């Protein structure tokens, strides 16, 4: 396999060794978790696996975790390319726990192959991957770098602040690209509103630098219904030759699940409306029928309908420490 393995080992020091060493430790130091997430879409008589995700983590010592996450998407399962599937392979260090200083400026550090911060995760549309805007608003995954989480008690103005610094661009095997990026996300809850601001700057080798911003808001009064919306901006006409896009959605809890509706709009290109139902048939199993109408000056008007089936299985430690998929 081609690539510069030394870069990887510098940024994710001895992670593979630590996974095996941690498993030999005591109950706390060797706590091990794993999980499997899968999502299958049935539409127009075609069954497609959106993704199959495996995640494993080990608690190396108090406050230090090793985490590996693989996502198989549109891959032949008989010919898996690990470098394409690797979403995260990182050390996650809770600085405040390790140092015993609850007022440390940085409370958590992720280093290695990471999922950079950006994606707001506000939508309850389970078919979001096939929407108009998803590819422009998602986080960069499988990139080499670090993410720091700042202490909100010291910042005062926000509830959460995270910053990622990483290398980006095309990867040839494990050969790390030379373009760099920085992204940040701020979260603040104001009464019934949650406000999320995300920004990302990426150095591009073959074009102008890419700058993307998203402002997202969720209104939730805790009475079984929620409304969310976002405005996305990307420079250089990066969204179908436009700079702006918007999303507006709502969800309502009923006895048999959660009804949702979401509209997406890209000026001078297209707009869509998706309605559906998220129904949990068993623990970790959700069935989500949906229908979407897409229309606009630059697309062929069509109606899409289908069902998403999501399965999430986790083996948890006594004190869970790995997060489920967004």
Q: What is the pLDDT of residues 168-201, one digit of tens each?
A: 754 444 455 568 999 999 999 999 999 999 999 9
Range scoring the smallest mean pLDDT among 22-31, 154-163, 190-199, 271-280: 22-31
157 belongs to a structural domain: yes
DSSP alpha helices (H): ranges in the chain? 5-11, 15-23, 82-85, 95-99, 134-137, 152-155
Around 172, how many Cα atoms within 13 Å sit in the side-chain half-sphere? 5
pLDDT digits (tens, 9 = 90+) for 235-266: 988 899 999 999 999 999 999 899 999 999 99
- Residue 304 sits in a domain whose CATH number is 2.40.160.10
State how many domains the chain has: 1
Please tell me which residue, 227 or 101, carries the higher pLDDT value: 227
320 belongs to a structural domain: no
* 142 vs 68: CA distance, rounded Å: 11
Please provide the size of the chain in residues: 326
pLDDT at 80: 59
Range scoring the smallest mean pLDDT among 87-96, 97-106, 119-128, 295-304: 97-106
Mean pLDDT of the chain: 82
322 belongs to a structural domain: no
pLDDT at 25: 39
57 belongs to a structural domain: yes
For the segment 212-225, the average pLDDT, to the nearest whole number, is: 95
Task: Tell me the backbone φ, ψ of residue 14, rounded to 5 degrees.
Answer: 55, 30
Q: Which of 115, 40, 27 is nearest to 323 (CA)?
A: 115
Three-class DSSP category at 226: strand
Around 198, how many Cα atoms within 13 Å sit in the side-chain half-sphere? 25
* 305 vs 301: CA distance, rounded Å: 14
For the chain, the farthest-separated pair of C-alpha atoms sits apart, in whole angstroms, at 62
pLDDT at 82: 66
Task: Tell me the backbone φ, ψ of residue 20, rounded to 5 degrees.
Answer: -75, -35
Buried b (16+ CB within 10 A) or exposed e, 54-87: bbbbbbbeebbbbbbbbbbeeeeeeeeeebbbbb
pLDDT of 24 > 80? The answer is no
pLDDT at 290: 96
Give me 291's structure tokens: 């229908």
127 belongs to a structural domain: yes
pLDDT digits (tens, 9 = 90+) for 296-305: 999 999 999 9
pLDDT at 31: 74
Domain residues for the domain of 199 are 5-315
Please say whether the beta carbons of 90 and 111 come within 8 A: yes
Question: What distances in angstroms separate CA 231 from CA 157, 189, 197, 212, one per listed residue?
Answer: 22, 18, 10, 11
The C-alpha R_g of the chain, in whole angstroms, comes to 21
């Amino acid at each position: 396999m081609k690539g510069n393995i030394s870069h990887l080992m510098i940024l994710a020091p001895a992670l593979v060794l630590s996974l095996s060493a941690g498993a030999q430790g005591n109950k706390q130091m060797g706590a091990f978790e794993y999980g499997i997430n899968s999502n299958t879409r049935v539409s127009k008589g075609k069954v497609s696996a959106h993704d199959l995700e495996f995640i494993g983590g080990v608690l190396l010592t108090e406050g230090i975790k090793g985490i590996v996450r693989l996502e198989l998407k549109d891959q032949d399962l008989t010919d898996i390319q690990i470098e394409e599937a690797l979403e995260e392979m990182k050390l996650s260090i809770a600085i405040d726990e390790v140092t015993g200083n609850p007022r440390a400026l940085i409370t958590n550090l992720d280093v290695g192959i990471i999922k950079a911060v950006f994606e707001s995760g506000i939508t309850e549309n389970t078919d979001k991957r096939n929407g108009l805007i998803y590819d422009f608003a998602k986080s960069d995954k499988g990139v080499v770098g670090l993410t720091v989480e700042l202490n909100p008690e010291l910042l005062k103005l926000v509830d959460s602040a995270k910053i990622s610094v990483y290398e980006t661009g095309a990867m040839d095997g494990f050969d790390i690209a030379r373009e760099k990026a920085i992204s940040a996300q701020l979260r603040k809850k104001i009464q019934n509103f949650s406000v999320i601001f995300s920004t990302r700057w990426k150095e591009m080798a073959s074009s102008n630098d890419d700058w993307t911003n998203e402002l997202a808001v969720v209104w939730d009064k805790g009475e079984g219904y929620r409304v969310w919306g976002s405005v996305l901006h990307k420079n250089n006409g990066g969204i179908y030759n436009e700079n702006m896009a918007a999303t507006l959605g709502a969800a309502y809890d009923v006895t048999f699940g959660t009804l949702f509706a979401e509209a997406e709009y890209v000026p001078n290109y297209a707009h869509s409306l998706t309605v559906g139902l998220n129904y949990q048939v068993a623990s970790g199993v959700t069935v989500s029928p949906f229908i979407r109408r897409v229309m606009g000056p630059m697309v062929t008007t069509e109606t899409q309908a289908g069902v998403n089936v999501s399965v999430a299985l986790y083996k948890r430690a006594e004190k869970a420490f790995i997060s489920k998929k967004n």
